[in-house]
Amino acid sequence: MNGNHLQDFLDFYSATGLAHARSPSDILNLAGRNEYDWARDYENNKRRSIRAGKGIDWPIIAKGGGTFESYSPGAFHNWKAPQRLTRAEVGWSFAMAHSSVREQEILMQEGITKGTDEMRVDIFAKIRDEKDMLLAIDLNEGMEDLFYALPDYSTMEVQTDGEHKKPYSFYAHINPSDANAPWGSYTLVNAGTNTTGKVYQIDARWSGDSSWGTANKEGVNPDAALINGKWDINAAGYKSMSHDPATGTDSIAMALDLMFMACKFVKPPLMKQYFEDPNFNNLQISTSTSGRAQFMQSQRAKGQPDSFGYDAGGVTDPTFNGIPIRRCLSHDTIPLYQKQGGSTYVAESALTAATSSTAQYTGARFFFKNGNYMYPVFHAERMFKRGEPSKHHNVPDTTVVPTSVWFQNPCFSYKHQGIVVPFANI
């Protein structure tokens, strides 16, 4: 301690890093969510989630070279030199939150100005923990809001000097609207007889933002011949929430099973392995509150357990082949779906019965995310980097400490992602 109590605190705060409350009774956090999906995805992929450089790029080969042939000995050959490599590329997105301390918070406490060094350190720690709790809430909530933001072409796809104003969101990668091409008999949303029992590859450039149009996705043209349709997500439909085999291809069980295979999901040998092995934990099925409730109710109506095709033991969520079907609150409120009677896009719960090709059916959507190919990436130099304390001459009694993060949320493979949607009003 050097006798300058404000500077002592700032030095202490800067040196100790992002802290946590020392016990649950210290600070009760009622502002944050119980869990953050971005943090879970980072934890599962942290060995490959830290990178450097001016952006993130990766090579793609979507079709073979076509050089294999049967031949007769001595025959003339036309040698080929196929060029099949494409590169996806995304830039960084930049964000920050900050803590601030007023001189009065430090200098008006007798325990600091007149106490022992031990007393000062204890008070400093309490002030730090409060400020770091607020900072952690702001960082986590802000990251999660960006993670589940509505697709926005101008801020997510467009780069300005290598910068994205916002990172790609979950819904920018996985959404049910096919902006540019039909799903076979299932066109944009609702067109006559829709074929269940099959998997479609759909263009996930969201039709709610016309700027996506035929534009690139992560710097790649999904319509390019070299891409060979591999920059589309998988989709399947259902017409009944029943698991009864009598419903045939219309059942939710059939649609989930098709999507499970299409997205290259693997059933964990044991339920505990799902939670212990990041490769399994990266396999995620999520739905709305209503979707989860409907799925569980349909199982109980047949006298079945909450888990389909698996003994899930004490797992709270219903499961499908050992993968929990989790409720995602963002799925309740995101205005992603085109409503009957106009071009308005609304949340799943606000949909009304669809009768035309310009509306989406009522009912639950089930999102399949293979997190081994879609996870947040952070810049090695700015992963929640705490900056130097600073103050502005217009506010001389307040010192600000920023914490910055450079990151992106790329999808490295769309063919491993998918969605199950209703093909009738449920």
Per residue of the chain (426 residues), give pLDDT as tens: 555 766 766 666 666 655 544 444 455 555 555 578 888 898 888 878 888 888 899 998 888 888 888 888 988 888 887 788 889 999 999 999 998 877 777 666 766 666 677 777 777 777 777 888 888 888 988 999 999 999 999 999 998 877 889 999 999 999 987 544 434 334 434 444 567 888 888 888 888 888 888 889 999 998 888 888 899 999 998 988 877 766 778 889 899 999 999 999 999 998 888 989 999 999 999 999 999 998 888 877 666 555 555 545 556 788 889 999 999 999 999 999 888 876 788 999 998 888 776 678 889 999 999 999 999 999 988 888 888 888 877 778 888 888 999 999 999 999 999 999 998 888
Distance CA 115, CA 109 (A): 9
For residue 419, the model assigns a pLDDT of: 94
In terms of C-beta density within 10 A (0-12 exposed, 13-18 middle, 19 or more buried), how is residue 422 classed? buried
- Identity (one letter) of the amino acid at 396? P
For residue 24, the model assigns a pLDDT of: 40
For residue 359, the model assigns a pLDDT of: 76
Helix, coil or strand: residue 9: helix
Distance CA 143, CA 38 (A): 7
> Residue 421 CB: number of other CB atoms within 10 A?
25
CA dihedral sign of residues 338, 343, 347, 349: negative
For residue 188, the model assigns a pLDDT of: 38
Q: What is the pTM of this model?
A: 0.85
Helix, coil or strand: residue 278: helix
For residue 1, the model assigns a pLDDT of: 52
Q: Tokens 């399947």 map to which residue?
A: 236
CA proximity to 288, closest of 324, 327, 238, 319: 327
Helix, coil or strand: residue 17: coil
For residue 13, the model assigns a pLDDT of: 65
CA proximity to 166, closest of 57, 93, 96, 92: 93
Residues in the chain: 426
Distance CA 151, CA 205 (A): 9
- Identity (one letter) of the amino acid at 40? R
Helix (H) or strand (E) holding 366: strand 366-370
CA atoms within a 13 Å half-sphere pointing along the CA-CB vector of 164:
27
Q: Could you tell me if 369 and 170 are in contact, meaning their C-beta atoms sit under 8 angstroms apart?
A: yes
Distance CA 381, CA 268 (A): 36
